Chain A
Amino acid sequence: DAVLTQTPLSSPVTLGQPASISCRSSQNLVHSDGNTYLNWLQQRPGQPPRLLIYKISNRFSGVPDRFSGSGAGTDFTLKISRVEAEDVGVYYCMQVTQFPRTFGQGTKVEIK
């Protein structure tokens, strides 16, 4: 199984400042079709998860451009260029390259 390890697990951030979350996989996530199916999800309190980024770096429809994803192979990063109050929540990386699908432990982003 591809174990996803996120760091940090908690990220207190000042409004308007950047935030960065790392996701490291125990296995290479490149699919046989050449794509890397690594998603980033946001979960606000009391809400279902929401897709932010798919295939490492593609912003999903309606996602603000302050969110960006990067990485390759086993190391991936989600960056928020300037944190806003509505960004408070838990962020998960998720791999959909192989079964079983797996998630990182989640990173809680909160305002200082």
Chain B
Amino acid sequence: EVQLLESGGGLVQPGGSLRLSCAASGFTFTTYAMGWVRQAPGKGLEWVSTISENGINTHYADSVKGRFTISRDNSKNTVHLQMISLRVEDTAVYYCARDVGVVMYDYWGQGALVTVSS
């Protein structure tokens, strides 16, 4: 059974940093690119970032470019999202999902809530 479990969410002050993790299981992790999607309270879905299967290629939304860094550890089946210089508008539930593969965005985690507030 495919499972994606996010962790690392929490409350942080504007300008602060946070690192999200997504632990994957139930599939061959190295055959999938992985992505992060976020959803601000009461709003729609916004793609944030994607990392390729081998971690070499990364893509970012303009809204987070230069502040967020996606990485993965294929030995631990984990993908990370390092977030710095956080803004109030980064407040959202962050979901990880399988990106490029046989079927894209087929499995999603339960999400991690990030709240940026003073």
Residue of B47, B103, B104 near A100 (CB, 8 A) is B47
* Closest A residue, CB atoms, query B44: A106
Most buried by B among A48, A58, A60, A104: A48
Q: Which residue of B lies closest to A58 (CB)?
A: B103
Please count the residue pairs between chain A and chain B whose beta carbons lie under 8 angstroms apart in the complex. 58
Question: Is there a chain A Cβ closer than 8 Å to B88's Cβ?
Answer: no
Residues of B in contact, count (CB < 8 Å) = 22
Give the residues in chain B near A39, CB-CB below 8 Å: 104-105
Tell me whether B95 and A92 are in contact (CB under 8 A): no
Are the C-beta atoms of B95 and A49 separated by less than 8 Å?
Answer: yes
State the A residues within 8 Å of B (CB): 37, 39, 41, 43, 48-51, 54, 58, 60, 90, 92, 94, 96, 99-106
The 5 closest A-B pairs by CB, nearest first: A101-B47, A96-B104, A48-B108, A103-B45, A99-B59
